Structure 1
Amino acid sequence: MLLLLLLLLITPSTLASECVPRTFQGDSFVCVCNSDYCDLPGVIKVPAAGSHTLITTSRDEHRFSIQNGSNDALPGEGSSVVVTLNHQERFQAMMGFGGAFTDATGINILKLTEESQEWLMKSYFSPEGIEYNLCRVPMAGSDFSTRPYSYDDVEGDVDLVHFNLTTEDYKYKLPFIHRAQELAERELLLFGSPWSPPAWMKENGMFNGSGGLLNEMWQPYADYFVKFVQAYSAEGAPIWGLTTQNEPLTGFQDWRWNTCAWTAEGQRDWIKTTLGPTLQAAGMRHLQLMVLDHNRDALPWYPATILEDPESNQFVDGVAIHWYDDDNTGPEVMSELHSLFEDKFLLYTESCDGWDAAPGERVILGDWYRAESYAANIIDDVNHWSTGWVDWNMALDIDGGPNWAYNFVDSPIIIDEKSSEFYKQPMFYSMGHFSKFIAPGDRLISSTVSSGYEHVRVAAFQHGSTDTASTIVLLNMGEDMETVTVDVRGSQEFVNFVMPAKSIVSVLVNMAATAH
C-alpha cells in the first residue's frame, strides 16, 4: 500500500517535469525531448479560494515555472503596473486553441521513435501537456504536402464515384487525430479547410496558379465537401466545422501552391444556392461554417458582402481570419465586423512565423521574438472578439518543411531526424499559456493596464460560470532589465508579483469574495 501511495504521488499526470535547455542560434533556448525524456507542465488546477498560481515563461530563464501564493488584502506598494479586472464586463466565450494536422506534421512525427512520438502527442493534447482542443485539417493537399492532390483526381467525375481519402490521410493525419482524441480530456474540435478543388473543376485546370471554380462545378464541389465530412466521420474523426476556402484572394494571381479564387460575391452566391442547401440536405447544418479564412485586411468588406444577404447569412456561423497582414491592418476591423454581425463568431484559423524570413532563417531555434509575437497577437485578437487562435503546422523539420512549393516556415516543435530529438521552441510555451489555462467556455472579461506601460499587454478570462476564478495572461515586451512589479486588482483582493523582462505570465487566481 505504501508503494502504491508513493507511485501515485510521483505520477507524471500530476507533477511537472523540467525543461532540458539547449541554445542554438536564437536569443533564447529550446527544450530538448527524446525517447527517454520530455518536459511536461503537469496538471495545474484552479487554486483554492483566496490564492493564486503564477506560471512564468521568459526569454532568459523560465519555461512554465510555477509559483503558488495567497492573495493580498491590500494593493501592492510601489507597483509599476496595475491590472484592473471587471468581472461585470463579460464578452465572448472562448472556443479554444490548437494547430493543424498537416501532412508535413505527420511526416515529421513519424521520423521519431514511438516513444518520442508519444511524448510529442502528450505535450500537445494531454492534461499534462498544453491541452490543444481546436484543430484544423486540410481537405486533401496543401503546400505542406509532398505533392498537390485532391480526393478525386479522375477528370470529369462529377458524380464523385472515385472520391476517396488518400495515403496521406491514413498515414499522416488520421492516426495522430485518433491519438489526440485518446489523450485529450477536452473535446477535440476538428474543422476542415480546402486549399483547392480537384484541378479539373477549376478554370485553369491546375491546383495552383490563378483561376476559380468552373460554374458547372458548383454542385459537384459542394458534394465534395459532404463526402469529406462523411469520410472522416466514418474513420472516427467527426468534423466540427468547415471553412469555405483557404485564402480565396490568392487565386487571383499566379500563386505558387494550391488555391482557388473566390470573389466575395461568388462565395455568397455559391453558399446560398449550392453549398448551404447541400450541407443542410445531408443533415450537416450543425457544422460550423466559416467564411473568408484569409487576412484581416479583407475585413469587414469580404464577409460583410456574404453576411448582408439573408439567404447566405443563414448558412454561415463565423468568420475565419489569418494573421499575415496584421502588421499593416489593426485589430479594430474585427470589432467593426463584430458590431455589424454580433451573432457570428470570429476565429483565428492560421498563423505562423518565419514565412517572410530570409532563406536560412525560416526556422530559428530558440527565437524569443516569435514567441512574443504569438502572445501579443493572441492578446490583441481575443480583446477584439476572436474566440480562439489556431497555429499552423504542429511539427516541421529543421528546414521548416516538407513543403512541395518550398514555402518553408517555423513551428512550435521542430524535429531533428539526425539526432532523433525534437525541440520545443519558445513559441510552444507561448501557445501553452493560452491553450492550457483558458478552457472552452471561459469568457473574456474587461482588463486594463495602467498608463505608461505600452510594452505590457493583458487579456483576462473568467472560468466557466464561476464568479471568482480567473486566468490573466500578461506579456512583458520590455527590453533587458525591464522587470515590472504587477498588481492585479479584483474587487476585494490583490495579487502582487514581479514579472521578468521579456516574459509571459499566466495568473490563475481565485478570489474569495464575489467579484460583483
Structure 2
Amino acid sequence: MNMINMKNIALRFLGCFALLAACSNSDDAEKPVVPVPTGDVTIYATTTSLTRDLTRDAVNFSSKDNLAPTTISLDPTVRYQTMDGFGAAITGSTCFNLFQMKPADRQAFLTETFSDKDGFGFSYIRISIGCSDFSLSEYTCCDTKGIENFALQSEEKEYILPILKDILKINPSIKIIAAPWTSPKWMKVNNLTDLAPLDSWTNGQLNPAYYQDYATYFVKWIQAFKAEGIDIYAVTPQNEPLNRANSASLYMSWEEQRDFVKTALGPKFKTAGLATKIYAFDHNYNYDNIASEQNYPGKIYEDEGASQYVVGAAYHNYGGNREELLNMHEAYPNKELLFTETSIGTWNSGRDLSTRLMEDMKEVALGTVNYWSKGVIVWNLMLDNDRGPNREGGCQTCYGAVDINNSDYKTIIRNSHYYIIAHLSTVVKPGAVRIGTGGYTDSGITCSAFENTDGTYAFVLLNNNEKAKKITISDGKRHFAYDVPGKSVTSYRWAKSK
C-alpha cells in the first residue's frame, strides 16, 4: 500500500468525527467539527478524564536513528491467532431503544458504530435465539408443543431483524453469533432422573427425548434468518449453561452438551449443509466453581464424536480469571477461543471511566486477545438511563456499552465497553493476525500488535500510569514516537513499508 492510499484511509475517518458531535459525552452537541491532522500514522486516543474522547491524531515516521529506551518493537515473524472481530450484543432492549430514536439519529449512531469507512467498524454482533434476559418478554420460537410450530416471533420480526438489516447495510461483512437462553418449555424437565415436565422459563434441563427436535429448532432458526438475508456465523448450544437462576435459563452439564452436540446438533447442521460454527460452553472462566464441570469444553473436545463439530469455546468473565483462556489454548491449541460477554453496572462503578476504562481494557479487551481470543464481545450495545428496558429476574443494575437518555432518545453517553471495542475495531480488522512485540516493558503498559490483511499494521496500547510516556514504536523498518497520555488508551494504524 502506497502512502497516498494510507492517507485516504486516514481521511475516510473524518466523517466519523462529524457524527461524534451528535453522539458524544459532551453536552455541547453543536460545537463545530475541527479538522483533524493526518500523517503517516493514524492515532486514536481516549483518556479516563475524556480530555481525549476517541480523538484522532497523527504523526509521521522519524528520519532519525532510533535510540529511544522506551521502544516497543513489532515482530511480524511471531504470529498468533487470526482475529474474527469485536462488537456488542444486539438485544431486544437495545433494539427497543434504537427504535425510539429519530431515524436520522439512529442511522448516525449505527454508522458511527459499525461503519468501517465512516465509523469505528464494530465487526461482531451477539444475539439470542429466542429471548434473553434483556428481551421485552419471555418467549422462544416454538412455544406451542411440536417442532412443526416453529416460527419467528414479534420481537425478532419487529425489532431484531430490522436493526440487523440496517447494520448489514452499513457493514455487510459483520459476523453474528447466537445463543439460546432457554429451550421451549415443553422440552424441559426438572432433572434427568425424574424427567418430570418443568413449566418454567428459569432453570430446568433439556429432556434427552427432545434432542433431535431441539437441534431442528436451531436449524430452522438459522434458516429463517437466512431467508431474511442474515447469515449466522456461529452459535453456542446454551448461554451460561451452569446458571440456573437467570430469568430465562437452562442448565446443561458438559455431558449433556457433549451428547446434544454429538448426537443431534452437529449431525443436523451437517445434514442441512450449514457452515455455522459451534462453540462450546459460553460461560465463566471458573465454571461457577462446580467441581464436576471444570474443563467443561475440554471434556467435550476429548470425545471425538462431539469434538468434530465444535470449533472452540466461548467464555464470560463473571467468575474466575482470564488465565483459563491461556490454559485452554495450551491444552487444546487447535481449538478456538472467543470472549462473548461481560457487563458493567452499579456493582462495579460501571459509568466511572477512571476505573472501568483501565480495568476493562486490561482484563477484557487486550487481556483476552493476548490470551488467544479471536474476538471480544460486550453485553448490551444500548440501554437507557434507567438501565432498561429490563425484566424482573434479569439484570436490573446493568449499564449498556452506551446509555441513551429516555427523555429525548438522542443524548448518548459512551461507557467503557464502547471505548474498548472502538479502540480495537477501528484499527484491527477481521482477518488480522496478532503478531509479536518486544522491547520496552512497564507494569502500567499493556499492548498488542496486529498485521491487517490490507497491508497495514495495528497497535493498541493501554497506559495505566498517571503520567504521560513518550513511547516509540518500531515495525523493524521505520519508527515513530508519540506522547501517550496518562490513564489512556491509544490505537495506531499505518501502512507497512514495501
Into which bin does the TM-score normalised by the smaller protein fall?
A: 0.7 to 0.9
- Residue 344 of structure 1 deviates from its aligned partner by 1.8
How far apart, in 1, do the equivalents of 2:265 and 2:63 lie? 57
**Which residue in 2 is equivalent to 1:371?**
357
| Deviation readout 1:63-98 (Å, 9 max, x if unpaired) | 22222222124466665x432221110111100011
How many angstroms does 1:323 deviate by?
1.9
Of 168, 172, 176, 2:155 maps to 168
Shift in alpha-carbon separation, 1:287–1:31, aligned structure 2, 3 A: farther
Name structure 1 gaps, 5 residues minimum.
1-9, 23-28
* CA deviation after TM superposition for structure 1 residue 31, in Å: 4.2
Unaligned runs of 5+ in 2: 1-10, 191-197, 288-292
Equivalence for 2:480: 495
2:105 paired residue number: 116
Map 1:88-167 to 2 at 5 A.
88-126=77-115, 127-154=117-144, 156-157=145-146, 160-167=147-154
Question: In the aligned structure 1, how far is the partner of 2:65 from the partner of 2:136?
Answer: 57
Residue of structure 1 in register with 2:464 after alignment: 477
Cα separation, partners in 2 of 1:18 and 1:178, compared to 1, 3 Å: closer
The alpha carbon displacement at 1:407 in A equals 0.7
Matched residue type, 1:259: S
What is aligned with 1:345?
A: 336
Over 3 Å counting, the alpha-carbon distance change for 1:175 and 1:62 in structure 2 is same
Distance 1:39 1:202 in 2: 56
Determine helix, strand or coil for the equivalent of 1:182.
helix
**Secondary structure of the structure 2 residue equivalent to 1:250:** coil
Distance 1:32 1:72, change over 3 A: same
Query: Is the aligned partner of 1:199 residue 2:185?
Result: yes
After TM superposition, the structure 1 = structure 2 runs for residues 332-411 of structure 1, keeping only pairs within 5 Å, are 332-354=323-345, 356-357=347-348, 364=351, 367-376=353-362, 377-404=364-391, 405-408=393-396, 409-411=398-400
SS for the counterpart of 2:95 is: helix
- Describe the SS at the equivalent of 1:441: coil
Counterpart secondary structure, 1:312? helix
User: What TM-score comes out, normalization by structure 1 length?
Assistant: 0.84
Inter-partner Cα distance in structure 2 for 1:276 and 1:435: 31
In structure 2, the partner of 1:30 is: 25
Q: Residues 91 and 218 (structure 1 numbering): CA distance in 2 closer, same or farther, change over 3 Å?
A: same
Instruction: Give the secondary-structure state (helix, strand or coil) at the position aligned to 1:105.
Output: helix
How far apart in 1 are the matches of 2:238 and 2:92? 18
User: Alpha-carbon deviation of 1:40?
Assistant: 12
Q: What are the superposed Cα offsets for residues 421-465 of structure 1, whole Å, 9 maximum, x if unpaired?
A: 2314142233211012110111101124624x2111101101127
Letter matched to residue 217 of structure 1 = Y
Aligned to 1:161, what secondary structure does the other structure show?
A: helix
Counterparts of 1:337 and 1:87, CA distance in 2: 24
Whether 1:213 and 2:216 are equivalent positions in the alignment is: no
Match runs of 1:457-468 below 5 Å: 457-464=446-453, 466=455
Per the alignment, in what secondary structure is the counterpart of residue 421 of structure 1?
A: coil
Of 302, 305, 323 in structure 2, the residue corresponding to residue 308 of structure 1 is: 302
Tell me which amino acid in the other structure corresponds to 2:52.
H
**Match for 2:222: what amino acid?**
V
Find the partner of 1:263 among 253, 257, 261: 253
- Which amino acid in 2 is paired with 1:501? G
Change in Cα spacing, 1:368 to 1:164, as seen in structure 2 (3 Å) is farther
| 1:266-305 equivalences in 2 (<5 Å) | 266-284=256-274, 286-298=275-287, 301-305=295-299
Does the 8 Å contact 1:248/1:262 carry over to 2? yes
Q: State the identity as a percent.
A: 26
Q: Residues 257 and 406 (structure 1 numbering): CA distance in 2 closer, same or farther, change over 3 Å?
A: closer
- Cα 1:384–1:356 shift into 2, 3 Å: same
**Aligned counterparts, 1:432-447, within 5 A:** 432-447=422-437
Residue 300 and residue 288 in structure 1: after superposition, are their counterparts in 2 closer, same or farther (change >3 A)?
farther
Does structure 1 conserve the Cα–Cα contact (< 8 Å) formed by 2:19 and 2:109?
A: no
Contact 1:41-1:64 at 8 Å conserved across structures: no
After superposition, the Cα gap between the structure-2 partners of 1:354 and 1:89, relative to the gap in structure 1 and judged at 3 Å, is: same
Q: What is the distance in 1 between the residues matched to 2:73 and 2:13?
A: 36
Matches of 1:311 and 1:38, distance apart in 2: 61
Alignment: residue pair count: 470
Tell me if structure 1 keeps the 8 A contact 2:124–2:175. yes
Change in Cα spacing, 1:258 to 1:426, as seen in structure 2 (3 Å) is closer
3-state SS in 2 of match to 1:17: helix
- How many Å separate the matches in 1 of 2:208 and 2:387? 37
Deviations 1:367-397 (A, max 9, x none): 3422323321211111111011011111101
Q: Is the 8 A contact 2:43 2:491 kept in 1?
A: yes
**Secondary structure of the structure 2 residue equivalent to 1:348:** strand
Partner amino acid, structure 2, of 1:398: N
Q: Which residue in 2 is equivalent to 1:249?
A: 242
Cα-Cα RMSD: 2.8
